[in-house]
Amino acid sequence: MRQSKLFTKTKKEAPTDEISKNAELLIRAGFIHKEMAGVYSYLPLGLRVLNKIENIIREEMNMVGGIEMRTAVFQSKEVWEKSNRWDDDIVDAWFKTKLKNGGEVGLSFTNEEAYSNILKQYVSSYKDLPIYPYDFKNIFRNEVRSKSGIMRGREFYWKALYSFSRNEEEHNEFYEKMKVAYQNIFKRSGIGHLTYMTFASGGSFSKYSHEFQTVISVGEDTIYLDEDSGIAINKEVYNDETIKGLGLIKEKLVEKRAVEVGNIFSLGTRFSEPFDLKYKDEKSQENLVIMGSYGIGLGRLMGTVVEALADDKGIIWPESIAPFKVHLLLLGDDEDVKKEADHVYETLTKNNIEVLFDDRVGLSPGEKFADADLLGIPYRFVVSSRSMKDNGVEVKKRNEEKGKVVSLEELLVLLKHSA
């Protein structure tokens, strides 16, 4: 992509009502556009990042047997009344609207009922199980406060997988696989070293659920971390019984601020029972299906990466989810330099390297460098009269202070080895 053709522009200031680092940087860099509090549009650069995150999650879900589908955003009142979660006194996060021909519908705030209602049509025998459907979709929650940028919105994009198993043993086996899959997702997204599987309340479903908490100073949760084992406990279940049950030593636990980037729950029969979601076993006896829930907010993960890794100059994207691998900068208006920059751009493109080419004219080197730091693309390549005198291209990683001039051939080898 040529930056001169990219309609978005960088800004020196973010909206005055934004207080979160992720929103400030992403808006200034042109990754997102704020529609209203808690609602953001993803601009071309932001969508590229979101798609990279989605593909990582999709690969990990498919590896454990997940089957992708897409559930409707509009939800039927009658379906949700079965679980008693249509009532606003039970769930206060609904967005609801009336149909012109009568009746009322809601916008998805979660997916348990939707999947149970669908699977009821297809599950009758033990041979039909287990099933692990998942989807990516927009979710709507009528949040009272939305002040954390894309980390907490009224409209957000998520992945939810639901497991449907024959018994607890089968469920638990898959649950353990999902723990590993989630750890892989956060590692591949660049924040695995800051993210800990955290014991949290299982509510009425089980003794514990598991959250994946990323340690950042502005996190909205408090966790207690054993740094030796990597085991963490959410404040809501932090007590002597839990500490002892997990084999931890209270004095070794360190209090940290963190943000939840994913969670997994055992649901038991909470949502299969109201839908009469049963199967017949080998003895033709009917049994309720055992369910589990596994969610990740993609925007929240994207915002957390920005919060966790950015510096005072701007965003620092991990290579795995960066919008482009290389940010190529053309400095000056010398025709020979322009031709060389075009040649480098075409060579990178032919080698299937994702590159954003800053071919804009009329900007000083300082302005281009500042924009490059703000955008946070992993590699910065500079073509200038000085680099041409040294018979190469200046290369610098986003988190490095100084660059060096190397030949184009060496750059291609470098990028190949970093793939």
Q: 58: which 2 tokens?
A: 């999709």
* Domain 3-207+259-309 identical in fold to domain 326-417: no
Mean pLDDT of the 134-160 span: 89
**CA 353 distance to own-chain centroid:** 23
Q: 14: which 2 tokens?
A: 């973010």
Q: Is 395 within 8 Å of 406 (Cβ atoms)?
A: yes
Closest C-alpha to 221, from 181, 261, 265: 261
- Cα atoms in the Cβ-side hemisphere of radius 13 Å centred on 298: 27
**Cis before 130? omega within 30:** yes
Q: Is 356 within 8 Å of 327 (Cβ atoms)?
A: yes
Q: Is 236 within 8 Å of 172 (Cβ atoms)?
A: no
Q: Which of 200-209, 332-341, 394-403 has the lowest mean pLDDT?
A: 200-209
Q: Quickly name the fold that domain 326-417 has.
A: Rossmann fold (3.40.50)
Measure the CA–CA gap between 75 and 231, rounded to whole angstroms: 38
Q: List residues bridging with 254 in a β-sheet.
A: 225
279 φ, ψ to 5°? -140, 155
pLDDT of 207 > 90? The answer is no
**pTM of structure:** 0.95
Torsion of CA 76, 79, 85, 88, to 10 degrees: 30
Closest C-alpha to 13, from 31, 3, 25, 1: 25
- Cα radius of gyration rounded to whole Å, the chain: 25
pLDDT of residue 16: 83
pLDDT of residue 66: 98
Pairing of strands 253-268, 290-297: antiparallel
Q: Is 329 within 8 Å of 403 (Cβ atoms)?
A: no
Measure the CA–CA gap between 103 and 98, rounded to whole angstroms: 6
pLDDT of residue 416: 85
Q: Is 212 within 8 Å of 260 (Cβ atoms)?
A: yes
Quick check: helix, strand or coil at residue 115?
helix
Q: 127: which 2 tokens?
A: 């041979």
Domain 3-207+259-309: assigned CATH number: 3.30.930.10
DSSP string, 254-313: EEEEEEEEEEEEEEETTTTTTTT-EEE-TTS-EEEPEEEEEEEEHHHHHHHHHHHH-BTT
Q: Is 287 within 8 Å of 281 (Cβ atoms)?
A: yes
Domain boundary assignment for the chain: 3-207+259-309, 326-417
Q: List residues bridging with 131 in a β-sheet.
A: 164
Neighbours of 96 (CB within 10 A): 13
Quick check: helix, strand or coil at residue 150?
helix
Q: Residue 152 — pLDDT band, cuts 50, 70, 90?
A: confident
For tokens 């996060």, name the residue.
Answer: 93
For tokens 């079965």, name the residue.
Answer: 82
Measure the CA–CA gap between 209 and 344, rounded to whole angstroms: 51
Measure the CA–CA gap between 85 and 113, rounded to whole angstroms: 9
Q: pLDDT digits over 377-408, tens only?
A: 999 999 999 999 999 999 999 999 899 999 99
Q: pLDDT digits over 94-129, tens only?
A: 999 999 998 999 999 999 999 999 999 999 999 999
Measure the CA–CA gap between 349 and 419, rounded to whole angstroms: 15
Q: Which of 8-17, 96-105, 261-270, 349-358 has the lowest mean pLDDT?
A: 8-17
pLDDT of residue 15: 78
Closest C-alpha to 125, from 311, 289, 8, 354: 289
pLDDT of 247 > 90? The answer is yes
pLDDT of 419 > 70? The answer is no
